Amino acid sequence: MAGRTVRVLMVCMGNICRSVAAEMVLRHLAAERGLTVAVDSAGFSDEEHGNDIYPPMKEALRRHGIPFTRHAARQMTAADAERFDLLIGMDRVNLWGIRQTCGEAGDNGLGLPKYSLLLDWAGRTDAVIEDPWYTRNFDLALGEIIEGCEGLLDTLEDRGLAGRD
């Protein structure tokens, strides 16, 4: 199993705040550790289709030193369940959306849950990352995203599931 590139899909409502930030954070942290992880993001709603990262989230990413690229929000599809090993929601509504779109979780061959909440990976079972679109607390959300991504990478490394660059 060593050397396999784990494919991760981060999911939130519209794919302009939390999930895209999680995509950028996971990509950055994996690169810092010399790990190979394929990551993408999507929303289960199509209301933001094609939109870039929400400007206040871009500012939070800058403040935390997380590089980001131009983004075009997309809607999650049932095919994502086949394309990705791990589908990770930011809150319970996102997890519900994953299940509604993709059906029951199949075996991903990793011995890890195919569907989860991001903060589960930080040992905060059932904790959610509140939507900063509503709370306006982008730094808090980003800090929790970083915490969850660090926990995910720790798990992948501990189990020998993350490839090395």
Any idea which residues carry the catalytic annotation?
Answer: 12, 18, 131
How is residue 120 annotated by DSSP? Answer: G
Say how many residues make up the chain.
165
Spell out the residues 6+ positions from residue 147 whose beta carbon is closer than 8 angstroms to its own: 119, 122, 124
The answer to whether residues 19 and 145 touch, using CB atoms and an 8 Å cutoff, is no
Looking at the DSSP bridge assignments, the partners of residue 7 are 38
Q: How far apart are the first and last CA of the chain?
A: 15
The answer to whether residues 86 and 9 touch, using CB atoms and an 8 Å cutoff, is yes
**Cβ neighbours, 10 Å, residue 123:** 12
Within 13 A of 86's CA, how many CA atoms are on the CB side? Answer: 29
